[in-house]
């Protein structure tokens, strides 16, 4: 791929009035504004282990969506995802947030059937015409996914928030989950990493990476279909905890280990250059700090930060080879303290 030229930041605002940059209204951006993974696990500790026989996937391993059996041949998937602005263009933010929310359904091997909007809005700072553009972007992606947006819920909030709650379906035998990985299999990644770094640069400078926007607004639908057809049963999507964080969660939940080939991991054009310039999200450093005790590596700190970069609407991380997508490592038996070698 060739590097996309940066273009000036443009906040979608139909009235043309000056509201400043959308990302300036938020302390973080995209999935990088998640509660740090270790803190989140502490918060839900003691809430796991619900024993309903119909719950196929619940809280236990922090999977992408809940899965509940409603009849022998059908499970319902339920998920929700929202975040602060990751780009200055309101419609693009809506598209990114919607693709990110629907990704959880695809990561489970399912198909979305309906979504509702989740909104927090600082009415005194941002007009509702800006919100309308955000919602329009979400609807664009829902339409591309072949589903309807049937309503939602909104509150006033100190910073803008947008996302979706999505419902999907999956045949139980095709369910992909993060605790089903086995040793001795290839590891496949379906999107390049580095959008967190590029989004951090965008927030600091106003430069837009169209390559990052294109990646974040691409649905994981085709990748999920290919994975199911290839017989993959262990998967997750790479979002706020970074490639390292999500792979660590899969290995821990499955009781295995993994070896990564850094040279095989695809990156978005411009990400390595932005990293060298020092554009590193705080969430990416927190991800690395969380995984580091479980990591055996000879990589440089800069390379590790890239692997831990907090992604927004990232690709699928699949245990198994899927035609058309790069293999970035393989799973192994866990024989020592480390879960990941890189």
Annotation says 31 is catalytic = yes
Within 10 angstroms of residue 59's Cβ, the number of other Cβ atoms is: 13
Active site residue: 31, 96, 232, 247, which one?
Answer: 31
Would you call 333 helix, strand, or coil by DSSP?
coil
Task: Please state whether 127 falls in left (phi above 0), alpha (psi between -120 and 50) or beta.
Answer: beta
Helix (H) / strand (E) element for 303: namely: helix 301-307
- CA 235, CA 187: separation in Å to the nearest integer? 10
Q: With residue 104 as reference, give the H or E element that holds it.
A: helix 90-107
10 Å CB burial of residue 27 (0-12, 13-18, 19+) is exposed
Dihedral through CA 166, CA 190, CA 144, CA 241, nearest 10? Answer: 40
Distance, in Å, from the CA atom of 164 to the CA atom of 79, rounded to the nearest integer, reads 8
State which H helix or E strand residue 215 sits in: helix 210-216
Token pair for 321? 């080879």
Nearest CA to 192 out of 38, 314, 41, 334 is that of 314
Q: What is the DSSP string of 119-145?
A: EEE-TTTS-HHHHHHHHHHHHHHHHHH
CA dihedral over 39, 42, 47, 48, signed as positive or negative: positive
Phi, psi at residue 257, to the nearest 5°? -130, 175
Q: Just list the catalytic residues.
A: 31
């Amino acid at each position: 791929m060739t590097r996309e030229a940066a273009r000036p930041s443009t906040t979608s605002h139909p009235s043309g009035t000056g509201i400043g940059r959308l990302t300036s209204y938020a302390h973080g951006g995209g999935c990088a504004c998640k509660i740090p993974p270790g803190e989140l696990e502490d918060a839900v500790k003691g809430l796991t282990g619900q024993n309903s026989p119909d719950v196929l996937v619940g809280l236990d391993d922090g999977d992408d969506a809940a899965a509940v059996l409603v009849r022998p041949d059908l499970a319902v998937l339920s998920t929700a995802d929202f975040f602060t602005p990751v780009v200055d263009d309101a419609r693009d933010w809506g598209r990114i947030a919607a693709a990110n929310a629907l990704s959880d359904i695809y990561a489970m091997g399912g198909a979305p059937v309906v979504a509702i909007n989740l909104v927090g809005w600082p009415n005194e700072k941002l007009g509702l015409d800006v919100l309308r553009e955000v919602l329009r972007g979400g609807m664009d992606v829902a339409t591309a996914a072949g589903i309807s947006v049937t309503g939602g819920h909104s509150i006033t909030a100190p910073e803008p928030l947008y996302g979706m709650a999505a419902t999907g379906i999956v045949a139980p035998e095709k369910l992909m989950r993060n605790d089903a990985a086995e040793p001795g299999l290839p590891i496949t990644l379906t999107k390049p990493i580095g959008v967190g770094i590029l989004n951090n640069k965008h927030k600091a400078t106003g430069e837009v990476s169209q390559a990052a926007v294109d990646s974040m607004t691409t649905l994981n639908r085709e990748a999920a279909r290919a994975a199911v057809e290839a017989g993959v049963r262990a998967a997750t999507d790479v979002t706020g905890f970074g490639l390292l964080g999500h792979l660590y969660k899969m290995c821990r939940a499955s009781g295995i280990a993994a070896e990564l080939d850094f040279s095989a991991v695809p990156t978005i054009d411009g990400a390595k250059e932005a990293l060298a310039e020092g554009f590193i999200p705080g969430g990416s450093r927190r991800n690395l700090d969380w995984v580091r005790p479980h990591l055996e590596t000879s990589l440089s700190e800069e390379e590790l930060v890239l692997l831990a970069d907090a992604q927004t609407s990232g690709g699928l991380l699949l245990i198994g080879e899927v035609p058309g997508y790069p293999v970035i490592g393989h799973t192994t038996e866990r024989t020592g303290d480390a879960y990941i070698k890189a």
